[in-house]
Amino acid sequence: MRQWFMCLLLIPVSTVFAIDKETHSSLTLDQAIVNVLERNPLLKAADFEAKAAAARIRAAQLTPVFRTSLEFENFGGSGVLSGSDNLESTLSLSKVLELGDKAKLRGDVAQNKAMLLRNDQDAKRLDLLAETTKRFLQVVTDQERLEIAKESLALAEQTQKVVGLRVKAGKSPNAELRRVKIALARIELEIEHARHTLLSSRLKLVTLWGETQIHFNSAGANLFDIGSATPFETLVQLLEHNPDLVRFATEKRLAETRIQLARSRRKADIEIAGGLRHFNTTDDTGLVMSLSIPLGTSSRAALIVEEEEFISLRNPYDLEQRRLELYATLFEVQQELKHAIDAAATFRETIIPLAERALKDYETGFNTGRYSLLELNVAQRTLLDSRLEYVMAAADYHRYRIEIDRLTGAGLSTGEIP
């Protein structure tokens, strides 16, 4: 059983190893994941998002600021007020006194929003690890397909030699030699295409950690190391760690703090102000003070509280719906995984050994003139197609394992596949 890799989600990876661009000829899944966690642009951007969220929390916890105001009265009018002799000027300082612990509750709301952001970032990080493993797996698969294409070329070259000898001996017509040469040219085209495909998959992998140059020669993994399927009941228990379901728990806490903040608005805030008033006519100064309390805040707050409570009541139903969707998806992927295991075993234990023995029989028969070139080609193609299907079945197994890891939120393994 593979070891889960959640620790890489929690610890800095700058102290772990990185790939030496000049000396590493083989890349492991460990190294690919570390490179992504160290240098992926999206993960770097997430650091700044977290810092911005921390700043929003501090801003939400601030209380209302003090205000200063300067007022002028009784000037620039008519009659005795036409000039500035009767001018009255007031300099005051005011502040809103919040009741109901609103600043703390605003901070709690902002903090729970930050937790939602963290959940989203964890989900993105998990998706990124899954994508890294999938691209690494694609490189391994393309390597195997290239090897099969090379094996096909070796068989075609061997057939060409045998047919050439038969043509010289007069046992086969020249047309058969031409057919073999045509097949050989086609296989060479297939190999060229397979090399281009492998190069593209390798480049797609390195772009995940911000590079545009390939600094490894091969992906080191055992594609055919296929394990057994984890019991579905065990996977269902792990399903509760799915990032979507974890997010609902945070959303529940956020809804509760929103309700508390809405309820705090039932207590009206008090605005108090005080200052000095200067009377220009007598050159005297007096103190002024004011108190402002809004009316009807309780009834207005009740509507907001009602809205937030209704929103919070839909959360359990959304959670249950998402859990059912994940359950169905997990069951489907688990069935496909079992099929991939069975298919790989059938190809490994039955189909490929039979195809190898059949090819040997046809090669012997062709050399003695009992079988035709067409029959030999069919036997060769049967073996090569079987090996290619074995590769694809093994690749499907690992793809489904990756998807199960992502669905259960259990993290992704390091080391060689699996």
d(CA 382, CA 384): 6
Comparing C-alpha atoms, which of 214, 223, 216, 225 is closest to residue 147? Answer: 223
Listed in sequence order, the residues at least 6 apart from 348 whose beta carbon sits closer than 8 Å to its beta carbon are 224, 390
Q: Give counts: helices (H), strands (E), the chain.
A: 10, 6
How far apart are alpha carbons 247 and 244 in whole angstroms? Answer: 5
Alpha-carbon gap, residue 63 to 102, rounded angstroms? 9
pTM over 0.85: no
- pLDDT given at position 347: 97
Q: Is the dihedral of CA 49, 52, 56, 57 positive or negative?
A: positive
In tens, the pLDDT along 126-150 reads 899 999 999 999 999 999 999 999 9
- Does the pLDDT value for residue 79 go beyond 80? no
For residue 87, the SS3 value is coil
Tell which wins on pLDDT, 241 or 328: 328
With tokens 């492998």, the residue in question is 198
Q: In angstroms, how far is the first alpha carbon of the chain from the final one?
A: 9
pLDDT the model gives residue 295: 86
Cα separations (Å) of 397 from 340, 345, 382, 390? 5, 11, 22, 11
CA separation for the pair 169, 192 (Å, rounded): 34
Domains recognised in the chain with CATH numbers: 25-73+87-408 (1.20.1600.10)
The tens digit of pLDDT for each residue in 164-221 reads 988 888 888 899 899 999 999 999 999 999 999 999 999 999 999 999 999 999 999 8
